[in-house]
Amino acid sequence: MDFFRLLLLAASMHEDIEKVLIAEEVIEKRLDVIAERVHADFASEEALQVVAILKGALVFMADLLRRVPLRLEIECLNVASYHGGTESSGQVDFLDQKLPDVKGRCVLLIDDILDTGRTLEAVSAKLLQMGAREVKTCVLLTKDKVRAAEVEADYSAFEIADEFVVGYGLDYDGKYRNLPYVGVLNPAVIKS
């Protein structure tokens, strides 16, 4: 690596990362596979409605859905469960004034990560309660752990250990969502 590039790295968010867990190229290859499955599974669906959970699912959704050539529609939901820390608060808040109309629709619900399972459980239940015909769930990451809510995603790109990760949409204190890979933060960066 040349000196100039080293200097740029040292002055950027990359220096806050202790290790890269899933590299950009690995994510891209895996998205091809997941997109192919989604395409095949919903090919006969005339009105596939995608609902993505903000803000964590933004990057994953954008990269995944551009690989799925269906005439789907996209809505986003603002949901909070973390409130700035590195542990789930256990409460899922719907922050939007108006929720998308999913009555009679087949919904593909996209989130960044399946952790305690409370978010996917609460949002799936809400969408069904609002009249969705069917809800399938899709996440970039699934944490290997015992969940508070008994849910598993229908589509999951990667399984990871139970540790706090950032990047590719996932944040710490609002930052690091634009890292092109999934990584683990340097402990010194985390506020005590």
What is the binding site for Mg ion (CB under 5 A)? 56
List CB contacts of 87: < 8 A, sequence separation 6 or more.
Answer: none
Are 51 and 109 in contact, with CB atoms under 8 Å apart? yes
Nearer to ligand 5GP, 100 or 167 (CB): 167
Annotation marks residue 115 as catalytic: yes
Q: Give the nearest distance from C-beta 3 to ligand 5GP in angstroms.
A: 33
**Per-residue string for binding with ligand 5GP, 66-95, x by CB under 6 A?**
---------------xx-----x-------
Q: Could you tell which of ligand 5GP, Mg ion, none binds residue 138, using a CB distance below 5 to 8 A set by kind?
A: none
Applying the rule CB under 6 A, the residues between 121 and 160 that interact with ligand 5GP are none
How would you label 153-185 residue by residue, b for 16+ Cβ within 10 Å and e otherwise?
A: bebbbbebeeeebbbbbbbbeeebbebbbbbbb
Cα 165 vs. chain centroid, distance in angstroms? 12
Q: Could you tell which of ligand 5GP, Mg ion, none binds residue 183, using a CB distance below 5 to 8 A set by kind?
A: none
Catalytic residue among 115, 154, 162, 171: 115
Size of the site for ligand 5GP (CB under 6 A): 20
Give the C-alpha separation, 87 to 188, whole Å: 17
Nearer to ligand 5GP, 45 or 82 (CB): 82
Rule CB under 6 A: say whether 183 interacts with ligand 5GP: no
Give the C-alpha separation, 102 to 144, whole Å: 31
